[in-house]
């Protein structure tokens, strides 16, 4: 054990040597990478532009809204371009990179009005689909599912604009906040409602239609990984299922496979495990699960040692 006299010199030396030996887990060498805090702040500002008046600025009205929006857009463009420029633009000069980053930042901001159209459909779907919702504003204000979907839509646009890494940072931030894991690569139509949401996983090559509804714990995942002849995973192929319009997937259902298509207007019941396609207008449920139900006295529970899960 290190004596106090040699602390921290010996340990510093050991750590720095480790950085040299295992450089893949370090970011040294003057490469500035995106700041997670800056991205989080940018996301909050983007959400403010999508849903004005709910959080920071609550005294917005038709008189002051124009100034507030213009000011925020102006500032956001610069901050977003700065973060984008940090992810690297291979093959471009610094000046080209700077231009490209500014272009991409502007590209996302210009999509905001169109995203509001889609998000209104998402909010309405939540309100109409949940007996516990009292108003659309409550959905915007309180619903973690709506928050996760809004962040996903922003991340998806950024991905389409060719920005790497940052879309994933955005959805992982939302994942940490809501327990909902939506990969930015998924394609999801308007009117998308995730209720409760904890544990939902939507894979990056999912295709989801309009007015689709998911409950907590639903996985839309992959079925095996194709590997090349060297045993390395092949990246990029469609691995995740397609859900057509008006599909409902109840809690804890698992749907897998890049070729699995759930036909429109189908209902996938709770805890179903599905790896095959189903026709439109299908109802898919587990066989009524066989339960063993026994009456038992109190003493019997004390000695019972099977099947208690903790």
28: number of Cβ within 10 Å:
9
Q: Give me the least distance between CB of 93 and its own copies, in Å please.
A: 20
Is there binding between residue 221 and its own copies (CB under 8 A)? yes
Tokens standing for residue 89: 């633009």
Question: Which of 162, 187, 225, 259 touches its own copies (CB under 8 A)?
Answer: 225
Window 180 to 199, contacts with its own copies (CB under 8 A):
181, 183, 185, 195-196, 198-199
Q: Give me the least distance between CB of 261 and its own copies, in Å please.
A: 14
Q: Which helix (H) or strand (E) holds 220?
A: strand 219-221
Backbone phi and psi for residue 119, each to the nearest 5 degrees, phi listed first: -65, -30
Question: Which of 91, 228, 230, 298 touches its own copies (CB under 8 A)?
Answer: 298
Beta bridge partners of 207: 187, 242
| Triad 267, 271, 274: Cα angle to 5° | 65
Beta bridge partners of 249: 214, 268
Cα maximum dimension of the chain = 78
Q: How far is CA 200 from the centre of its chain?
A: 9
Nearest CB to its own copies, comparing residues 210 and 216: 216
Question: Which of 41, 223, 238, 245 touches its own copies (CB under 8 A)?
Answer: 223
Q: How far is CA 210 from the centre of its chain?
A: 18
Stretch that binds its own copies, among 89-97, 153-161, 186-194, 230-238 (CB under 8 A): 230-238
End-to-end Cα separation, the chain, in angstroms: 40
Residue 238 · residue 205 · CB < 8 Å? yes
Window 94 to 133, contacts with its own copies (CB under 8 A):
103, 106-107, 109-110, 112-113, 116-117, 119-120, 123-124, 128-132
Report which of 155, 207, 208, 199 is spatially closest to residue 180, judged by C-alpha positions: 199
Question: Which of 191, 209, 217, 241 touches its own copies (CB under 8 A)?
Answer: 217
Tokens standing for residue 234: 């092949």
Report which of 205, 143, 206 is spatially closest to residue 177, judged by C-alpha positions: 143
Residues in contact with its own copies, counted by CB under 8 A, come to a total of 151
Nearest CB to its own copies, comparing residues 124 and 160: 124
Window 274 to 293, contacts with its own copies (CB under 8 A):
274-275, 278-279, 281-293
Nearest CB to its own copies, comparing residues 187 and 286: 286
Q: How far is CA 185 from the centre of its chain?
A: 9
Q: Give me the least distance between CB of 118 and its own copies, in Å please.
A: 10
Stretch that binds its own copies, among 68-76, 89-97, 155-163, 186-194 (CB under 8 A): 68-76
Stretch that binds its own copies, among 89-97, 153-161, 186-194, 297-305 (CB under 8 A): 297-305
Report which of 129, 134, 156, 159 is spatially closest to residue 145, judged by C-alpha positions: 129
Residue 212 · residue 202 · CB < 8 Å? no
Window 243 to 272, contacts with its own copies (CB under 8 A):
250-252, 254, 256, 265, 267, 269-272
Site string for its own copies, 144-183 (x = CB under 8 A): x-------------------xx--xx--x--xxxxx-x-x
């Amino acid at each position: 054990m290190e004596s106090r006299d040699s602390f921290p010199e010996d340990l510093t030396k050991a750590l720095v040597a480790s950085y040299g030996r295992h450089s893949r887990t370090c970011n040294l060498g003057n490469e500035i990478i995106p700041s997670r805090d800056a991205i989080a702040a940018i996301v909050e500002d983007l959400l403010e532009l999508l849903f004005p008046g709910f959080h920071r600025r609550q005294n917005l009205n038709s008189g002051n809204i124009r100034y507030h929006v213009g000011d925020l857009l102006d500032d956001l463009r610069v901050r977003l371009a700065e973060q984008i420029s940090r992810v690297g633009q291979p093959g471009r000069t610094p000046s080209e990179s700077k231009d490209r980053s500014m272009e991409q930042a502007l590209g996302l901001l210009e999509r905001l009005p169109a995203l509001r159209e889609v998000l209104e459909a998402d909010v309405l779907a939540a309100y109409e689909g949940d007996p516990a919702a009292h108003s659309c504003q409550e959905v915007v204000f309180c619903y973690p599912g709506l928050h996760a979907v809004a962040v996903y839509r922003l991340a998806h646009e950024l991905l389409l604009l060719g920005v790497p890494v940052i879309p994933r940072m955005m959805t992982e931030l939302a994942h940490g906040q809501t327990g909902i894991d939506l990969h930015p690569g998924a394609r999801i139509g308007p009117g998308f409602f995730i209720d409760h949401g904890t544990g939902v996983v939507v894979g990056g090559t999912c295709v989801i239609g309009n007015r689709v509804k998911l409950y907590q714990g639903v996985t839309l995942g992959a079925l095996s990984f194709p590997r090349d002849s060297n045993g390395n995973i092949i990246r990029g192929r469609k691995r995740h299922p397609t859900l057509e319009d008006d599909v409902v997937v109840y809690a804890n259902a698992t749907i897998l496979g890049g070729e699995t298509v759930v036909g429109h207007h189908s209902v996938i019941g709770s805890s179903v495990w599905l790896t095959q396609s189903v026709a439109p207008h299908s109802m898919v449920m587990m066989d009524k699960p066989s339960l063993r139900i026994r009456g038992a006295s109190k003493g019997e529970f004390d000695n019972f040692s099977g099947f208690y899960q903790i």
